[in-house]
């Protein structure tokens, strides 16, 4: 196996970087449903990864704090804790909350559609999907707001139940309920973080690849997938080196694969049409903060904060889209140092924080042809306004860290474009629109080109 990574660090979105003595994760901030993932990861890692559970026994392993209009609602590990916490706040909604969570479980378990993707014969997969997956397609047609409104009319409770929607990025009134249910169900038993940070994932996988004669190379950008008689035969690198291979697996997303790496004449009109119909996922601005004091002395929590200025998420995002510099910002606030139980051994007198807020590519499009770190004063001023508003909120939650901050960096959708080779700064690849899941499935591991897989 030869892995070709365009970045200077292996691991894709699981990579971490160190700058001026501070380490930051870039894409993997927490995961749920660990048992399912661990079985696979243990097979492909030299040393089994150790996972630290977020939260503490005292707070029932709280993983997310949904903060809306300055009031915090804790999401704790375990279905019973999740339900009981909400019932304390909304005692009259007990039956509605229980019914909602039961429906979440039903919808999230509709996995037959995905299992059928691995069938070799597309027609057979299509027929089975048509007859066996109608309930799945039904849940795709309903958006999150429509479904939650069926279970409760309480606007505050509705907002709390949608409070993690940054994990899938699309505004709830536009996102299918299946995606929402999958995320909620994913974290119900709690959340975990890899000991020593996400970089440990590729660190432990690489020796397995190398043990069979394989290599993992960085700074190796693929320019084109080479094709002969409808068969993928290798890749052309940016430096014009050709590498032949029996099988090519593209792990950079359908957008990059079909729009950039394969010549358009070899991609069907249907696929091109579906990609443009489906569009791209949301983008973010990311803030990386280095703190020159021990994480335990600062009493940093491992749970994430989802900060929402008010209960109307749709209006909040519309305001940002129209006027980002004068709108209240929603924020994801996490402390990787508090999630990693080995942090103090690596960085005994340091801590870190990562903040994300929604970013819209159109606000940055005028700088798209400029170079990283050379985009001009106006670009820097734009970012600094977002930065200062975000820091103001951070210090409300953790005032004790303000005087100890000595490193700050902020990225934009253009930064995501640079590091992920995205089209419009999308952080989650393709959007999760229903077109992505149409019955005549066009997104399968085996593409129409022989020996080319997604």
368-397 pLDDT per residue, tens: 999 999 999 999 999 999 999 999 999 999
Distance, in Å, from the CA atom of 13 to the CA atom of 284, rounded to the nearest integer, reads 14
253-267 pLDDT per residue, tens: 999 999 999 998 899
Is residue 278 within a helix (H) or strand (E), and if so which, with residue range?
Answer: helix 269-278
Distance, in Å, from the CA atom of 71 to the CA atom of 87, rounded to the nearest integer, reads 16
For 10-17, what is the mean pLDDT? 93
Place of tokens 């005994």: 348
For 224-230, what is the mean pLDDT? 95
Query: Rounded to 5 degrees, what angle do the CA atoms 254, 260, 264 make?
Result: 95
SS3 state at 172: coil
Neighbours of 436 (CB within 10 A): 20
pLDDT at 279 over 90: no
Give the pLDDT of residue 126: 86
Neighbouring residues of 149: CB distance < 8 A, sequence distance ≥ 6: 158
Distance, in Å, from the CA atom of 451 to the CA atom of 227, rounded to the nearest integer, reads 10
Beta strand segments in 61-168, E? 62-68, 71-76
Instruction: Say which DSSP state 276 is in.
Output: H
For 196-217, what is the mean pLDDT? 97
SS3 state at 177: helix
For 190-203, what is the mean pLDDT? 97
For 399-405, what is the mean pLDDT? 98
Share of residues in the chain with pLDDT > 90 (%): 87
Residue from 356, 376, 371 nearest 417 by CA: 371
Share of residues in the chain with pLDDT > 70 (%): 100
Neighbours of 118 (CB within 10 A): 10
Q: Within 13 Å of residue 150, how many CA atoms lie on the same side as its CB? A: 11
22-55 pLDDT per residue, tens: 999 999 999 999 998 899 999 999 999 999 999 9
Residue from 373, 381, 284, 280 nearest 334 by CA: 284
SS3 state at 47: coil
Residue 199 has φ and ψ, to the nearest 5°, of -60, -25
Q: Tell if the pTM clears 0.85, that is, is over it.
A: yes
Read off the pLDDT band of 442 (50, 70, 90).
confident
Distance, in Å, from the CA atom of 36 to the CA atom of 444, rounded to the nearest integer, reads 21
For 65-88, what is the mean pLDDT? 96
Give the pLDDT of residue 412: 97
Specify whether the CB–CB gap between 63 and 303 falls below 8 A.
yes
Specify whether the CB–CB gap between 221 and 237 falls below 8 A.
yes
Give the pLDDT of residue 440: 58
Read off the pLDDT band of 122 (50, 70, 90).
confident
Question: In DSSP terms, which residues pair with 287 in a beta bridge?
Answer: 355, 410
Distance, in Å, from the CA atom of 261 to the CA atom of 254, rounded to the nearest integer, reads 10
Instruction: Say which DSSP state 35 is in.
Output: H
Which alpha helices (H) appear in 334-436, and where do they start and end?
A: 336-339, 343-346, 377-397, 413-420
Give the pLDDT of residue 307: 98
pLDDT at 441 over 90: no
Give the pLDDT of residue 439: 54
For 292-299, what is the mean pLDDT? 97
Distance, in Å, from the CA atom of 438 to the CA atom of 278, rounded to the nearest integer, reads 11
Give the pLDDT of residue 60: 97
For 274-280, what is the mean pLDDT? 89
């Amino acid at each position: 196996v030869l892995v070709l990574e365009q970045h200077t660090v292996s691991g894709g979105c699981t990579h971490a970087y160190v700058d001026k003595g501070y380490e930051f994760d870039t894409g993997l901030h927490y995961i749920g449903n660990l048992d399912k993932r661990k079985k696979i990861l243990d097979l492909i890692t030299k040393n089994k990864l150790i996972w630290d559970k977020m939260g503490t026994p005292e707070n029932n392993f709280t993983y997310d704090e949904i903060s809306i209009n300055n009031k915090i609602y804790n999401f704790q590990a375990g279905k019973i804790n999740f339900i009981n916490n909400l019932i304390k706040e909304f005692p009259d909604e007990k039956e509605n909350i229980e019914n909602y969570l039961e429906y979440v479980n039903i919808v999230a378990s509709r996995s037959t559609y995905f299992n059928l993707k691995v069938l070799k014969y597309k027609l057979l997969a299509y027929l089975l999907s048509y007859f066996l997956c109608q309930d799945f397609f039904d849940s795709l047609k309903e958006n999150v707001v429509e479904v939650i409104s069926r279970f409760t009319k309480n606007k505050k409770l509705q907002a709390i139940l949608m409070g993690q929607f940054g994990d899938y990025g699309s505004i709830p009134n536009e996102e299918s309920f299946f995606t929402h249910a999958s995320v909620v169900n994913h974290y119900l038993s709690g959340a975990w973080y890899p000991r020593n940070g996400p970089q440990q994932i590729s660190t432990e996988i690489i020796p397995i690849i190398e043990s069979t004669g394989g290599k993992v190379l960085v700074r190796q950008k693929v320019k084109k997938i080479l094709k002969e008689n409808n068969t993928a035969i290798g890749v052309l690198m940016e430096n014009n080196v050709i590498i032949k291979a029996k099988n090519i697996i593209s792990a950079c997303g359908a957008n990059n694969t079909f729009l950039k790496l394969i010549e358009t004449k070899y991609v069907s009109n249907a696929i091109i049409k579906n990609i443009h119909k489906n569009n791209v996922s949301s983008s973010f601005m990311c803030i990386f903060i280095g703190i020159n004091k021990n994480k335990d002395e600062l009493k940093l929590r491992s749970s994430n904060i989802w900060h929402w200025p008010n209960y109307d998420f749709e209006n909040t995002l519309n305001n940002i889209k129209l006027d980002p510099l004068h709108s209240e910002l929603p924020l994801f606030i996490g402390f990787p140092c508090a999630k990693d139980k080995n942090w103090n051994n690596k960085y005994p007198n340091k801590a870190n924080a990562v903040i994300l807020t929604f970013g819209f590519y159109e606000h940055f499009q005028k700088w798209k042809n400029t170079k990283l770190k050379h985009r001009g004063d106006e670009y820097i001023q734009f970012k600094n306004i977002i930065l200062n508003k975000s820091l103001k909120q951070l210090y409300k939650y953790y005032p004790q860290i303000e005087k100890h901050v000595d490193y700050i960096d902020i990225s934009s959708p253009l930064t995501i474009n640079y590091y992920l080779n995205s089209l419009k700064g999308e952080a989650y690849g393709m959007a999760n629109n229903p077109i992505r899941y149409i019955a005549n499935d066009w997104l399968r591991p085996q593409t129409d080109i022989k020996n080319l897989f997604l």
